[in-house]
Structure 1
Amino acid sequence: MPGLSFTLPHWLYWVGLIVFPIVAMILSRRPQPKERRYSLPLAYMIAIAGGIIGLHRFYLKSLLGLVYIPIFLFILYANNQAHDARTVLSDYANQMRVAERTLTREESRVQEAQAGLADLQKAYDEAEEGSFGQKSAERRLQRAQDTISKGEARLTEARTAVAEIAPRRDEAAASRNFWRQAGGYAFYLILALVALDFVLIPGLVRRANAALPLTEEVSEAEAALAAAEKEEGLKQDSDYAENWIDRLSLFCGEFVSYWAVIAVFVYYYEVIARYVFNSPTNWAHEGMYLMFGMQYLIAGAYAMLTESHVRVDIFYAPLSKPRKAWVDLLTSVFFFIFAGTLLVTSWIFAMDAIAVPSGNSIVSDWARGQIGFGEMIGGLGLNQWTDPNIRWGEISFNEWEVPLWPMKWVMVIGAVLLILQGISKLSKDVREIARGN
């Protein structure tokens, strides 16, 4: 079975976090077709992302997608068997190494002891009966004999182990190679089917669209849900925007929401790499863990604007709008204490992350107070971004070594957005109280 050794470059990680949401926001604002149609680009995208399990066939309502399922399951089974065989092989190989080291060590010891045994026996025989020299020679002779007897016992045990383990090791190696080849052939079969479907997808899309009914039927459940939403008068996100701060919070919230789609693709890749190619990544989990942390911080202002935060409103909900505004105005003191503390501590964390002397970055020198701000700006050049010997501040401790300082600065951005949204909410409460309706 082929393996994967791809490691996501740091620059691609950051470019993906910026470019993907922008593209997604542009596509989401395109006018939607009035009639439901199957899309050729979407079919190809599904084939690329999930073709190995036939998702593109299921999308186009083709039951031939079921052909992919048993092949894919066999790949998983073969990889599991190969993994078990590799574990057994590793255990036998360790036992063989121990036995071989024992043979090498004990053979030299036994040979050395046997070579000196005659001299020790002669020294014992020539020593005066009952003398100290005879007792000393006897002890040396006894140690040599013990070394020989124990060494021969260990040699016998080691030779037995080698004789027993060698065929088992070879059997485990053969089993591992068999299952690896079987999984590889099954994977190549799926690739061939996907390549064939890439040619057939345009025709499958036309056939699926031709099979669509002329008028789209709406189920009773969908009709009831639409009626309930209309009756409740649910607000759209755009209905919350009253000023530029609100629009900024909405934009940032929508921007980071598409990061969840990135996580779907990344974790899908991680699962395929781990269970199909036996090549788990060293970056997927950490990259998504850090991404969701940044998403949580940036989306705070959006959640505050759209009132998505969890709160206990047993007493708050029945109040009139002016009284709610008074409550919000009085409790905003605690909010600004929290948001201000978040901003200050985030700034400290961000500056400390930049100041870590992990490279000769001029920005790190500025953060440590070694140079002034003007000197830092004047010294910035392309080499500060392209020189592999320059590292900007704090990095992660695992093999991926992604820079952590951008995440710390996202904390600052999130705190600023939260404070701005708090100011917007404060101004709305003041206007509501002034109106007094």
Structure 2
Amino acid sequence: MPGLSFTLPHWLYWVGLIVFPIIAMVLSRRPQPAQKRYSLPLAYMIAVTGGIIGLHRFYLKSLVGLVYLPLFLFILYSNGQEQSARSALSEVTNQIRVAERTLDREVGRVEEARASLAELQVAVDEAEEGSFAKRSAERRLERAQDTVETGQTRIDEARATVEEVGPLRDTAADTRAFWDMAAAYALYAILALLLIDFVLLPGMVSRANAALPAHEEITEAERRIREAEAEEGPKHDRDYAENWIDRLSLFCGEFVAYWAVIAVFVYYYEVIARYVFGSPTNWAHEAMYLMFGMQYLIAGAYAMLTETHVRVDIFYAPLPKKRKAWVDLLTSIFFFIFAGTLMVTSYIFAMDALAVPTGNAAISEWARGNIGLGELFGSLDASQWTDPNIRWGEISFNEWEVPLWPMKWVMVIGGLLLVLQGISKLSKDIREIARGN
């Protein structure tokens, strides 16, 4: 079975976190057609990402996609059998390796000890009875005899192990090779079907669109839900925005929300790489938990604006707007203590991440106080960005070695957004109290 050795480059990770949400936000703002239709670009995207299990066929409501599932399940089964055979092969190989090492060690010792038996026996016979020399010669003879006896036992056991386990090693190797080849052939069959479907997709999308009814058919339950939503007038995020701070919080919240879509693709890739190709990544999990940590921090201001933070408001909820404003105003002191502490400590963490001793970039020298701000800007040339030997700051400890200092600066941004949103909320509360409603 072919393996996957792809490692996500650091630059692509950051480009994806920035570019993907922008593209998604642009696409989400496109005018929606009156009637939903199948999309050829979407069909190709599904074929690329999920074609291995026939998702592009299911998207177009084609039952031919069921052909992919047995092949995919066979790959999973074959990989499971191959892993079992690999474990068995590793076990018997270790047994043979231990037995061969025993033979290499004991054969020479036994031969040497056996060759010295006659000489030691002569030394015992020639020594005077009851003397120290005779007792010493007898002990040497006994040790040599023990070495021959125990060594020969170990040699016999090692040779028996090699004779017994050798065929098992060959069987395990053959079994592993068989299931590995079976999984590879099943994968090649799926790739061949995908190649054919890539050619047929335009016609499949056209036929699927032609089969759509002239008018969208909805159930009675769906119709009632739509009527209820139309009467209530659903509140959009933009309805919360009253100033530029609110609009900034809404933008940041929507921006990082699309990172969850990235996680779907990355974890899908990890599952396929691990269980289909037997090539688990060393970057997927770390990349995603760092991403979700940044998402949590940046989205804090959005959650505060839209009042989606979890809270117990059994006494707060029934209050009129003016009293709510008074409560928010009085309790805002605790909020600003928290948000301010978050921003200040995050800034300290971020500066420390840049100033780590291993950082050899100009900005790390500046963070450590070795150079001034003017000298820093004078040192920022192209090599600071392109030289692989230059390390800006703290990096992770695993093999991926992604820089951690950008994540800590995102903590600063999250704290700043939270403080700004608190100021916006404070101004709204003051206006609400001033109106006296």
Under TM normalisation by the shorter chain, which class is it? over 0.9
Identity of aligned residues (%): 76
Q: Please give the secondary structure, in 1, of the residue aligned with 2:116.
A: helix
- What pairs up with 1:2-401 in 2 under 5 angstroms? 2-401=2-401
CA distance in 1: counterparts of 2:106 and 2:378, whole angstroms? 70
CA distance in 1: counterparts of 2:245 and 2:351, whole angstroms? 26
**1:48 Cα offset (Å):** 0.3
Aligned letter for 1:185? Answer: Y
CA distance in 2: counterparts of 1:406 and 1:268, whole angstroms? 26
Moved over 6 A (4+): none
**1:224 Cα offset (Å):** 2.4
User: Which ranges in structure 1 are unaligned for 5 or more consecutive residues?
Assistant: none
Range 376-385 or range 153-162, more displaced: 376-385
**1:222 Cα offset (Å):** 1.7
Contact in 2 for aligned 1:273/1:280 (Cα 8 Å): yes
Deviation sequence 1:20-64 (CA, Å, 0-9, x none)? 011111111111111110000000000000001000000001000
Range 378-387 or range 272-281, more displaced: 378-387
Aligned letter for 1:156? Answer: D
Range 369-378 or range 12-21, more displaced: 369-378
CA distance in 2: counterparts of 1:285 and 1:59, whole angstroms? 28
**1:381 Cα offset (Å):** 1.1
CA distance in 2: counterparts of 1:341 and 1:128, whole angstroms? 91
Contact in 1 for aligned 2:359/2:394 (Cα 8 Å): no
Cα RMSD of the aligned pairs, angstroms, is 0.8
Contact in 2 for aligned 1:359/1:389 (Cα 8 Å): no
Q: Please give the secondary structure, in 2, of the residue aligned with 1:395.
A: coil
CA distance in 2: counterparts of 1:92 and 1:397, whole angstroms? 34
Aligned letter for 2:14? Answer: W
**1:220 Cα offset (Å):** 1.9
Deviation sequence 1:154-192 (CA, Å, 0-9, x none)? 000000000011100110010000000000000000000
CA distance in 2: counterparts of 1:431 and 1:123, whole angstroms? 112
**1:227 Cα offset (Å):** 2.8
CA distance in 2: counterparts of 1:171 and 1:376, whole angstroms? 65
CA distance in 1: counterparts of 2:44 and 2:352, whole angstroms? 46
Aligned letter for 2:205? Answer: V
CA distance in 1: counterparts of 2:177 and 2:384, whole angstroms? 48
**Matching residue of 2:409:** 409
Contact in 1 for aligned 2:246/2:421 (Cα 8 Å): yes
**1:67 Cα offset (Å):** 0.4
**1:245 Cα offset (Å):** 0.5
Aligned letter for 2:194? Answer: V
Q: Please give the secondary structure, in 2, of the residue aligned with 1:109.
A: helix
**Matching residue of 2:433:** 433
Aligned letter for 1:83? Answer: Q
Range 96-105 or range 214-223, more displaced: 214-223
CA distance in 2: counterparts of 1:233 and 1:41, whole angstroms? 33
**1:430 Cα offset (Å):** 0.8
TM-score (norm 2): 0.99
CA distance in 1: counterparts of 2:312 and 2:229, whole angstroms? 24
Range 358-367 or range 267-276, more displaced: 358-367
CA distance in 1: counterparts of 2:275 and 2:408, whole angstroms? 34
CA distance in 1: counterparts of 2:331 and 2:346, whole angstroms? 23
Aligned letter for 2:188? Answer: Y
CA distance in 2: counterparts of 1:359 and 1:352, whole angstroms? 11
CA distance in 1: counterparts of 2:36 and 2:376, whole angstroms? 56
CA distance in 2: counterparts of 1:430 and 1:231, whole angstroms? 32
**1:313 Cα offset (Å):** 1.4
User: Which ranges in structure 2 are unaligned for 5 or more consecutive residues?
Assistant: none
TM-score (norm 1): 0.99
Aligned letter for 1:313? Answer: D
Deviation sequence 1:379-435 (CA, Å, 0-9, x none)? 111111111111111100000000000000000000000000000111111111111
Contact in 2 for aligned 1:256/1:295 (Cα 8 Å): yes
Contact in 2 for aligned 1:78/1:180 (Cα 8 Å): yes
**1:122 Cα offset (Å):** 0.8
CA distance in 2: counterparts of 1:219 and 1:358, whole angstroms? 63
Contact in 1 for aligned 2:301/2:421 (Cα 8 Å): yes
CA distance in 2: counterparts of 1:297 and 1:349, whole angstroms? 15
Aligned letter for 1:203? Answer: G
The count of corresponding residues between Structure 1 and Structure 2 is 437
